[in-house]
A and B are shown apart, each in its own frame.
Chain A
Amino acid sequence: MDDLEFRKRVLENPSEIADDVLSIAQGNSERLQFIAEAKAMEERIHNTAMSVSAPESLAQQLKALSERPIELTSTEKPSIRRYFAIAASMVVAVAITASVGLFNQQPSAADIQLRDDVIRHVYREAPRYESNLQDMDWQEVNKVVAEAGGHLIEGQSIKTMHVKFANGCRIGLDRRGAHIVLEGTQGAVSVFMVKHSPVKKAMSVDDPRFSGKIIPFGEGNLIFVGEKQEPLETYEALITQSFEWEI
Protein backbone atom coordinates (compact mmCIF):
# COMPACT_ATOMS: atom_id res chain seq x y z
CA MET A 1 0.00 0.00 0.00
CA ASP A 2 1.60 3.25 -1.09
CA ASP A 3 1.39 6.43 0.90
CA LEU A 4 -1.46 7.97 -1.09
CA GLU A 5 -3.55 4.82 -0.78
CA PHE A 6 -2.82 4.71 2.94
CA ARG A 7 -3.94 8.33 3.45
CA LYS A 8 -7.02 7.79 1.33
CA ARG A 9 -8.06 4.75 3.31
CA VAL A 10 -7.57 6.61 6.60
CA LEU A 11 -9.44 9.73 5.55
CA GLU A 12 -12.36 7.82 4.08
CA ASN A 13 -13.49 7.15 7.60
CA PRO A 14 -11.06 7.88 10.43
CA SER A 15 -13.56 6.57 12.98
CA GLU A 16 -13.44 3.08 11.51
CA ILE A 17 -10.02 2.44 10.08
CA ALA A 18 -9.71 -1.05 8.65
CA ASP A 19 -7.39 -3.53 10.36
CA ASP A 20 -5.15 -3.93 7.31
CA VAL A 21 -4.55 -0.17 7.27
CA LEU A 22 -3.78 -0.10 10.99
CA SER A 23 -1.42 -3.02 10.74
CA ILE A 24 0.74 -1.52 8.02
CA ALA A 25 1.08 1.66 10.08
CA GLN A 26 2.65 -0.23 12.95
CA GLY A 27 6.29 0.75 13.40
CA ASN A 28 5.96 3.74 11.09
CA SER A 29 5.86 6.86 13.23
CA GLU A 30 4.84 9.11 10.35
CA ARG A 31 1.84 6.96 9.50
CA LEU A 32 0.89 6.57 13.13
CA GLN A 33 1.00 10.32 13.54
CA PHE A 34 -1.16 10.74 10.44
CA ILE A 35 -3.75 8.39 11.93
CA ALA A 36 -3.66 10.23 15.26
CA GLU A 37 -4.14 13.59 13.56
CA ALA A 38 -6.93 12.25 11.39
CA LYS A 39 -8.75 10.89 14.41
CA ALA A 40 -8.33 14.15 16.32
CA MET A 41 -9.62 16.09 13.34
CA GLU A 42 -12.52 13.69 12.98
CA GLU A 43 -13.54 14.26 16.58
CA ARG A 44 -13.61 18.00 15.92
CA ILE A 45 -15.64 17.53 12.75
CA HIS A 46 -18.08 15.29 14.58
CA ASN A 47 -18.44 17.71 17.48
CA THR A 48 -18.96 20.63 15.13
CA ALA A 49 -21.50 18.85 12.96
CA MET A 50 -23.43 17.59 15.96
CA SER A 51 -23.33 20.93 17.77
CA VAL A 52 -26.16 22.16 15.57
CA SER A 53 -29.35 21.55 17.46
CA ALA A 54 -32.99 21.82 16.51
CA PRO A 55 -35.31 24.33 18.18
CA GLU A 56 -37.00 22.83 21.23
CA SER A 57 -40.46 23.23 19.77
CA LEU A 58 -39.67 21.39 16.57
CA ALA A 59 -40.46 17.88 17.79
CA GLN A 60 -43.93 18.95 18.88
CA GLN A 61 -44.54 20.70 15.59
CA LEU A 62 -43.52 17.58 13.70
CA LYS A 63 -45.78 15.40 15.79
CA ALA A 64 -48.64 17.81 15.20
CA LEU A 65 -48.36 17.13 11.47
CA SER A 66 -49.98 13.76 12.07
CA GLU A 67 -53.06 15.54 13.49
CA ARG A 68 -53.81 17.18 10.18
CA PRO A 69 -56.78 15.88 8.29
CA ILE A 70 -55.68 13.98 5.24
CA GLU A 71 -57.45 16.38 2.89
CA LEU A 72 -55.23 19.18 4.18
CA THR A 73 -52.03 17.26 3.74
CA SER A 74 -53.07 16.27 0.27
CA THR A 75 -53.46 19.87 -0.86
CA GLU A 76 -49.71 19.93 -1.33
CA LYS A 77 -49.06 18.34 -4.65
CA PRO A 78 -46.06 16.46 -5.98
CA SER A 79 -43.53 18.72 -7.60
CA ILE A 80 -44.58 18.61 -11.23
CA ARG A 81 -48.23 19.03 -10.41
CA ARG A 82 -47.26 21.84 -8.09
CA TYR A 83 -45.57 23.78 -10.83
CA PHE A 84 -48.53 23.18 -13.09
CA ALA A 85 -50.69 24.53 -10.28
CA ILE A 86 -48.50 27.61 -10.00
CA ALA A 87 -48.72 28.12 -13.72
CA ALA A 88 -52.49 27.70 -13.56
CA SER A 89 -52.77 30.17 -10.71
CA MET A 90 -50.80 32.68 -12.76
CA VAL A 91 -53.33 32.32 -15.53
CA VAL A 92 -56.16 32.87 -13.06
CA ALA A 93 -54.34 35.88 -11.64
CA VAL A 94 -54.07 37.42 -15.08
CA ALA A 95 -57.76 36.82 -15.68
CA ILE A 96 -58.65 38.52 -12.41
CA THR A 97 -56.45 41.42 -13.37
CA ALA A 98 -58.68 42.17 -16.29
CA SER A 99 -61.94 42.05 -14.33
CA VAL A 100 -61.08 43.27 -10.86
CA GLY A 101 -58.12 45.50 -11.46
CA LEU A 102 -56.28 44.29 -8.42
CA PHE A 103 -53.26 43.37 -10.49
CA ASN A 104 -51.89 45.12 -13.44
CA GLN A 105 -48.78 43.11 -13.96
CA GLN A 106 -47.83 39.50 -13.74
CA PRO A 107 -46.31 38.44 -10.43
CA SER A 108 -42.65 37.47 -10.42
CA ALA A 109 -41.47 33.96 -9.59
CA ALA A 110 -40.47 35.21 -6.13
CA ASP A 111 -43.94 36.67 -5.60
CA ILE A 112 -45.54 33.39 -6.58
CA GLN A 113 -43.20 31.55 -4.27
CA LEU A 114 -44.17 33.91 -1.47
CA ARG A 115 -47.87 33.28 -2.07
CA ASP A 116 -47.25 29.55 -2.15
CA ASP A 117 -45.32 29.74 1.11
CA VAL A 118 -48.12 31.67 2.77
CA ILE A 119 -50.76 29.04 2.06
CA ARG A 120 -48.43 26.25 3.05
CA HIS A 121 -47.59 28.03 6.29
CA VAL A 122 -51.23 28.66 7.17
CA TYR A 123 -52.12 25.01 6.74
CA ARG A 124 -49.11 23.89 8.70
CA GLU A 125 -49.59 26.25 11.63
CA ALA A 126 -53.37 26.01 11.90
CA PRO A 127 -53.35 23.09 14.37
CA ARG A 128 -51.26 25.18 16.74
CA TYR A 129 -53.73 28.00 17.16
CA GLU A 130 -57.14 26.58 16.30
CA SER A 131 -57.71 25.56 19.90
CA ASN A 132 -56.40 28.81 21.41
CA LEU A 133 -59.27 30.52 23.19
CA GLN A 134 -57.56 33.19 25.24
CA ASP A 135 -56.32 36.51 23.96
CA MET A 136 -52.58 36.99 23.97
CA ASP A 137 -50.94 39.74 25.92
CA TRP A 138 -50.11 42.75 23.75
CA GLN A 139 -46.55 42.87 25.01
CA GLU A 140 -45.99 39.34 23.76
CA VAL A 141 -47.58 40.18 20.44
CA ASN A 142 -45.43 43.25 19.98
CA LYS A 143 -42.34 41.31 20.95
CA VAL A 144 -42.95 38.92 18.07
CA VAL A 145 -43.70 41.81 15.73
CA ALA A 146 -40.53 43.60 16.86
CA GLU A 147 -38.43 40.52 16.09
CA ALA A 148 -39.74 40.75 12.56
CA GLY A 149 -38.61 44.37 12.40
CA GLY A 150 -41.97 46.05 12.94
CA HIS A 151 -44.09 47.75 15.55
CA LEU A 152 -47.79 47.90 16.32
CA ILE A 153 -49.03 51.21 17.69
CA GLU A 154 -51.39 50.36 20.47
CA GLY A 155 -54.31 52.63 19.74
CA GLN A 156 -57.87 52.00 20.87
CA SER A 157 -58.98 50.60 17.55
CA ILE A 158 -56.34 47.93 17.34
CA LYS A 159 -57.01 46.82 20.88
CA THR A 160 -60.48 45.76 19.78
CA MET A 161 -58.83 42.85 18.00
CA HIS A 162 -58.52 39.50 19.72
CA VAL A 163 -55.05 38.10 19.09
CA LYS A 164 -54.99 34.34 19.62
CA PHE A 165 -51.50 33.52 18.46
CA ALA A 166 -48.26 35.26 17.67
CA ASN A 167 -45.07 33.63 16.55
CA GLY A 168 -42.07 34.12 14.33
CA CYS A 169 -42.29 32.59 10.89
CA ARG A 170 -40.22 32.08 7.81
CA ILE A 171 -42.08 33.09 4.74
CA GLY A 172 -40.39 33.81 1.45
CA LEU A 173 -36.71 34.55 1.28
CA ASP A 174 -35.43 33.25 4.56
CA ARG A 175 -36.03 36.27 6.74
CA ARG A 176 -37.83 36.09 10.04
CA GLY A 177 -41.35 37.45 9.87
CA ALA A 178 -44.24 37.70 12.30
CA HIS A 179 -47.38 35.61 12.13
CA ILE A 180 -50.23 36.82 14.31
CA VAL A 181 -53.65 35.26 14.35
CA LEU A 182 -56.78 37.25 15.05
CA GLU A 183 -60.23 36.06 15.85
CA GLY A 184 -62.34 36.63 12.76
CA THR A 185 -66.03 36.23 12.10
CA GLN A 186 -65.51 33.01 10.15
CA GLY A 187 -62.55 31.62 12.03
CA ALA A 188 -58.89 32.50 12.40
CA VAL A 189 -57.42 35.37 10.43
CA SER A 190 -53.69 35.22 9.84
CA VAL A 191 -51.68 38.39 9.50
CA PHE A 192 -48.06 38.16 8.42
CA MET A 193 -45.51 40.94 8.57
CA VAL A 194 -42.52 40.09 6.41
CA LYS A 195 -39.82 42.69 6.04
CA HIS A 196 -38.25 41.90 2.71
CA SER A 197 -38.83 42.06 -1.02
CA PRO A 198 -42.20 43.79 -1.35
CA VAL A 199 -44.34 42.20 -4.04
CA LYS A 200 -44.61 44.28 -7.19
CA LYS A 201 -48.33 44.80 -6.73
CA ALA A 202 -50.93 43.66 -4.26
CA MET A 203 -51.78 40.08 -5.08
CA SER A 204 -54.45 37.68 -3.98
CA VAL A 205 -53.90 34.47 -2.06
CA ASP A 206 -56.45 31.94 -3.15
CA ASP A 207 -57.02 28.39 -2.14
CA PRO A 208 -60.02 26.06 -1.91
CA ARG A 209 -60.38 27.01 1.75
CA PHE A 210 -58.63 30.31 2.32
CA SER A 211 -58.47 33.64 0.61
CA GLY A 212 -56.38 36.67 1.26
CA LYS A 213 -53.98 39.16 -0.15
CA ILE A 214 -50.38 40.21 -0.05
CA ILE A 215 -49.89 43.95 0.12
CA PRO A 216 -46.54 45.66 -0.44
CA PHE A 217 -46.01 47.82 2.61
CA GLY A 218 -42.88 49.98 2.81
CA GLU A 219 -39.84 47.72 2.92
CA GLY A 220 -41.86 44.56 3.16
CA ASN A 221 -45.24 42.92 2.88
CA LEU A 222 -48.37 42.67 4.97
CA ILE A 223 -50.30 39.51 4.30
CA PHE A 224 -53.87 38.75 5.33
CA VAL A 225 -55.39 35.28 5.06
CA GLY A 226 -58.74 34.08 6.35
CA GLU A 227 -61.55 31.69 5.56
CA LYS A 228 -63.29 32.32 2.24
CA GLN A 229 -66.13 34.48 3.58
CA GLU A 230 -64.04 36.51 6.01
CA PRO A 231 -64.23 40.29 5.45
CA LEU A 232 -60.49 40.88 5.48
CA GLU A 233 -60.79 44.59 4.68
CA THR A 234 -61.60 45.30 8.33
CA TYR A 235 -58.36 43.77 9.56
CA GLU A 236 -56.40 45.22 6.70
CA ALA A 237 -57.59 48.71 7.62
CA LEU A 238 -56.82 48.23 11.30
CA ILE A 239 -53.36 46.80 10.77
CA THR A 240 -52.21 49.17 8.05
CA GLN A 241 -53.20 52.13 10.23
CA SER A 242 -51.41 50.76 13.27
CA PHE A 243 -48.34 49.07 11.87
CA GLU A 244 -44.97 50.49 10.92
CA TRP A 245 -41.55 49.07 10.18
CA GLU A 246 -38.79 49.98 12.58
CA ILE A 247 -36.09 52.00 10.91
Chain B
Amino acid sequence: MSDSPVLDDRKKKQRYEALVDELYQDVYRYAYWLCKQAPLAQDLVQETFLRAWRSFDSLQNDKAAKAWLFTILRRENARLYERYRPDLVDIEDQSIADSDFNEPDEKLDRRQLHEAIASLDKDYREPLLLQVIGGFSGKEIAEILNLNNNTVMTRLFRARSKLKHIFVASSDTKPKGTGDDTQ
Protein backbone atom coordinates (compact mmCIF):
# COMPACT_ATOMS: atom_id res chain seq x y z
CA MET B 1 0.00 0.00 0.00
CA SER B 2 1.11 3.55 -0.60
CA ASP B 3 2.55 5.55 2.25
CA SER B 4 1.75 8.78 0.49
CA PRO B 5 0.74 11.53 2.92
CA VAL B 6 -1.70 12.84 0.36
CA LEU B 7 -5.15 11.43 0.94
CA ASP B 8 -7.69 11.25 -1.79
CA ASP B 9 -10.66 13.58 -1.41
CA ARG B 10 -13.11 10.95 -0.34
CA LYS B 11 -10.87 9.53 2.32
CA LYS B 12 -10.03 12.99 3.54
CA LYS B 13 -13.70 13.87 3.80
CA GLN B 14 -14.48 10.67 5.69
CA ARG B 15 -11.65 11.37 8.08
CA TYR B 16 -12.89 14.91 8.60
CA GLU B 17 -16.44 13.76 9.24
CA ALA B 18 -15.26 11.19 11.76
CA LEU B 19 -13.37 13.95 13.51
CA VAL B 20 -16.49 16.10 13.62
CA ASP B 21 -18.53 13.27 15.11
CA GLU B 22 -15.93 12.51 17.71
CA LEU B 23 -15.01 16.02 18.81
CA TYR B 24 -17.66 18.58 17.97
CA GLN B 25 -19.40 18.33 21.34
CA ASP B 26 -16.23 18.94 23.32
CA VAL B 27 -15.11 21.70 20.98
CA TYR B 28 -18.53 23.35 21.35
CA ARG B 29 -18.40 23.01 25.14
CA TYR B 30 -15.01 24.61 25.28
CA ALA B 31 -16.17 27.38 22.93
CA TYR B 32 -19.20 27.98 25.09
CA TRP B 33 -17.16 28.32 28.25
CA LEU B 34 -14.64 30.48 26.47
CA CYS B 35 -17.08 33.03 25.10
CA LYS B 36 -19.95 32.30 27.51
CA GLN B 37 -22.71 32.72 24.96
CA ALA B 38 -24.33 29.94 22.98
CA PRO B 39 -24.81 31.76 19.64
CA LEU B 40 -21.22 32.99 19.65
CA ALA B 41 -19.98 29.55 20.59
CA GLN B 42 -21.77 28.05 17.61
CA ASP B 43 -20.21 30.58 15.24
CA LEU B 44 -16.85 30.02 16.81
CA VAL B 45 -17.06 26.27 16.34
CA GLN B 46 -18.02 26.73 12.69
CA GLU B 47 -15.05 29.01 12.12
CA THR B 48 -12.81 26.54 13.90
CA PHE B 49 -13.87 23.56 11.82
CA LEU B 50 -13.76 25.62 8.64
CA ARG B 51 -10.15 26.51 9.37
CA ALA B 52 -9.45 22.92 10.33
CA TRP B 53 -10.89 21.62 7.07
CA ARG B 54 -8.90 24.07 5.03
CA SER B 55 -5.65 22.96 6.61
CA PHE B 56 -6.66 19.39 7.22
CA ASP B 57 -3.67 17.97 5.38
CA SER B 58 -1.44 19.45 8.06
CA LEU B 59 -2.98 17.19 10.69
CA GLN B 60 -0.68 14.19 10.54
CA ASN B 61 -1.77 12.43 13.70
CA ASP B 62 -5.44 12.08 14.59
CA LYS B 63 -4.53 11.69 18.25
CA ALA B 64 -3.39 15.31 18.20
CA ALA B 65 -6.66 16.48 16.65
CA LYS B 66 -8.30 17.61 19.85
CA ALA B 67 -5.42 19.82 20.96
CA TRP B 68 -5.14 21.12 17.40
CA LEU B 69 -8.83 22.07 17.27
CA PHE B 70 -8.78 23.68 20.70
CA THR B 71 -5.77 25.72 19.67
CA ILE B 72 -7.50 26.89 16.48
CA LEU B 73 -10.58 27.72 18.50
CA ARG B 74 -8.67 29.86 20.97
CA ARG B 75 -7.02 31.71 18.14
CA GLU B 76 -10.32 32.28 16.32
CA ASN B 77 -11.95 33.50 19.50
CA ALA B 78 -9.18 36.03 19.98
CA ARG B 79 -9.28 37.05 16.33
CA LEU B 80 -13.01 37.35 15.83
CA TYR B 81 -14.73 38.06 19.06
CA GLU B 82 -12.68 39.14 22.02
CA ARG B 83 -12.36 42.70 20.82
CA TYR B 84 -16.04 43.08 19.91
CA ARG B 85 -17.76 41.45 22.81
CA PRO B 86 -18.47 42.71 26.30
CA ASP B 87 -17.47 40.15 28.87
CA LEU B 88 -20.96 39.12 29.88
CA VAL B 89 -22.23 35.95 31.43
CA ASP B 90 -25.32 35.14 29.44
CA ILE B 91 -26.61 32.69 31.97
CA GLU B 92 -30.21 32.87 30.77
CA ASP B 93 -29.21 31.80 27.29
CA GLN B 94 -27.08 28.91 28.34
CA SER B 95 -27.16 25.55 26.57
CA ILE B 96 -27.20 23.43 29.66
CA ALA B 97 -28.85 20.09 29.13
CA ASP B 98 -30.90 19.57 32.25
CA SER B 99 -32.73 16.40 31.44
CA ASP B 100 -30.23 14.31 33.39
CA PHE B 101 -30.91 15.85 36.77
CA ASN B 102 -34.27 16.31 38.34
CA GLU B 103 -33.77 17.33 41.92
CA PRO B 104 -34.37 21.07 42.41
CA ASP B 105 -31.36 21.29 44.74
CA GLU B 106 -29.14 19.64 42.19
CA LYS B 107 -30.37 22.03 39.53
CA LEU B 108 -29.70 24.98 41.81
CA ASP B 109 -26.24 23.67 42.64
CA ARG B 110 -25.39 23.24 39.01
CA ARG B 111 -26.65 26.70 38.19
CA GLN B 112 -24.56 28.22 40.96
CA LEU B 113 -21.55 26.27 39.85
CA HIS B 114 -22.17 27.29 36.25
CA GLU B 115 -22.16 30.93 37.32
CA ALA B 116 -19.08 30.36 39.43
CA ILE B 117 -17.12 28.78 36.56
CA ALA B 118 -18.23 31.51 34.18
CA SER B 119 -17.17 34.19 36.64
CA LEU B 120 -13.63 32.84 36.94
CA ASP B 121 -10.97 34.98 35.41
CA LYS B 122 -10.00 33.69 31.97
CA ASP B 123 -6.49 32.86 33.18
CA TYR B 124 -8.00 30.33 35.56
CA ARG B 125 -11.04 29.27 33.58
CA GLU B 126 -9.12 28.22 30.50
CA PRO B 127 -6.71 25.69 32.02
CA LEU B 128 -9.47 24.29 34.19
CA LEU B 129 -11.76 23.67 31.22
CA LEU B 130 -8.96 22.31 29.09
CA GLN B 131 -8.38 19.76 31.81
CA VAL B 132 -12.03 18.99 32.58
CA ILE B 133 -13.50 19.08 29.06
CA GLY B 134 -10.44 18.35 26.98
CA GLY B 135 -8.92 15.82 29.34
CA PHE B 136 -5.50 17.31 28.67
CA SER B 137 -2.49 16.81 30.93
CA GLY B 138 -0.72 19.74 32.53
CA LYS B 139 1.99 19.52 29.89
CA GLU B 140 -0.52 19.56 27.04
CA ILE B 141 -2.37 22.50 28.57
CA ALA B 142 0.94 24.32 28.90
CA GLU B 143 1.58 23.81 25.19
CA ILE B 144 -1.90 24.97 24.17
CA LEU B 145 -1.74 28.06 26.36
CA ASN B 146 1.92 28.69 25.71
CA LEU B 147 2.73 28.66 29.41
CA ASN B 148 5.11 26.61 31.49
CA ASN B 149 3.88 23.57 33.33
CA ASN B 150 4.29 25.04 36.82
CA THR B 151 2.18 28.05 35.93
CA VAL B 152 -0.55 25.78 34.61
CA MET B 153 -0.57 23.66 37.76
CA THR B 154 -0.70 26.75 39.96
CA ARG B 155 -3.60 28.13 37.95
CA LEU B 156 -5.47 24.85 38.21
CA PHE B 157 -5.02 24.89 41.95
CA ARG B 158 -6.18 28.48 42.20
CA ALA B 159 -9.13 27.92 39.87
CA ARG B 160 -10.46 25.13 42.06
CA SER B 161 -9.74 27.05 45.25
CA LYS B 162 -11.69 30.00 43.92
CA LEU B 163 -14.56 27.80 42.81
CA LYS B 164 -14.71 26.16 46.18
CA HIS B 165 -14.76 29.52 47.86
CA ILE B 166 -17.44 30.96 45.54
CA PHE B 167 -19.55 27.86 45.65
CA VAL B 168 -19.41 27.38 49.39
CA ALA B 169 -20.22 31.05 49.94
CA SER B 170 -23.22 30.93 47.60
CA SER B 171 -24.39 27.61 49.07
CA ASP B 172 -24.39 29.15 52.53
CA THR B 173 -26.85 31.78 51.36
CA LYS B 174 -29.31 29.45 49.69
CA PRO B 175 -32.31 28.06 51.59
CA LYS B 176 -31.69 24.64 53.09
CA GLY B 177 -34.01 21.97 51.73
CA THR B 178 -32.90 18.42 51.48
CA GLY B 179 -29.51 19.16 52.97
CA ASP B 180 -26.73 16.64 53.30
CA ASP B 181 -25.88 17.53 56.84
CA THR B 182 -24.61 14.14 57.74
CA GLN B 183 -21.95 15.21 60.22
Residues of A participating in the B interface, judged by any CB pair closer than 8 Å? 7-8, 11-14, 38, 41-42, 44-55, 58-59, 61-63, 65-66, 70, 73-74, 76, 79, 110, 113, 124, 170, 173-176
When the two chains form their complex, are residues B160 and A59 in contact, meaning their CB atoms are under 8 A apart? no
Across chains A and B, the number of contacting residue pairs, with CB separation under 8 Å, is 126
Are A11 and B28 also in contact (CB < 8 A) when A63-B20, A73-B53 are?
Answer: no
When the two chains form their complex, are residues B45 and A44 in contact, meaning their CB atoms are under 8 A apart? no
Across the two chains, which residue of chain A brings its CB closest to B14?
A66
What are the 4 A-B residue pairs with the smallest beta carbon separation, nearest first? A54-B28, A170-B39, A11-B160, A53-B97
When the two chains form their complex, are residues B97 and A12 in contact, meaning their CB atoms are under 8 A apart? no
Q: Is B85 an interface residue (CB 8 A)?
A: yes
Are A59 and B94 also in contact (CB < 8 A) when A11-B161, A14-B160, A65-B46 are?
Answer: no
Contact residues of B between 92 and 108, Cβ < 8 Å to A: 94-98, 100-101
Q: Which one, B98, B153, B156, contacts A51 given CB within 8 A?
A: B98
Q: Is B25 an interface residue (CB 8 A)?
A: yes
Across the two chains, which residue of chain B brings its CB closest to A49?
B132
Q: Is B140 an interface residue (CB 8 A)?
A: no
Q: Which one, B46, B98, B132, contacts A62 given CB within 8 A?
A: B46
Please give, as numbers and ranges, the residues of chain A lying within 8 Å of B16 by CB-CB distance.
Answer: 63, 66
Alpha-carbon distance A55/B97, docked complex (angstroms): 10
When the two chains form their complex, are residues A170 and B43 in contact, meaning their CB atoms are under 8 A apart? yes
Are A46 and B160 also in contact (CB < 8 A) when A59-B21, A62-B46 are?
Answer: no
- CB of B150, distance to nearest CB on chain A (Å): 10
When the two chains form their complex, are residues B39 and A176 in contact, meaning their CB atoms are under 8 A apart? yes
Please give, as numbers and ranges, the residues of chain B lying within 8 Å of A50 by CB-CB distance.
Answer: 29, 132-133
Please give, as numbers and ranges, the residues of chain A lying within 8 Å of B53 by CB-CB distance.
Answer: 65-66, 73
Across the two chains, which residue of chain A brings its CB closest to B135?
A15
Q: Would you give 6 A-B contacts (Cβ < 8 Å), ordered by A?
A: A41-B164, A49-B117, A49-B129, A63-B17, A66-B13, A174-B39
When the two chains form their complex, are residues A54 and B24 in contact, meaning their CB atoms are under 8 A apart? yes
Q: Is B70 an interface residue (CB 8 A)?
A: no
When the two chains form their complex, are residues A45 and B95 in contact, meaning their CB atoms are under 8 A apart? no
Pick from A7, A62, A175 the residue with the most CB of B within 10 Å.
Answer: A62
Q: Is B37 an interface residue (CB 8 A)?
A: yes
Are A38 and B160 also in contact (CB < 8 A) when A48-B117, A54-B45, A73-B54 are?
Answer: yes
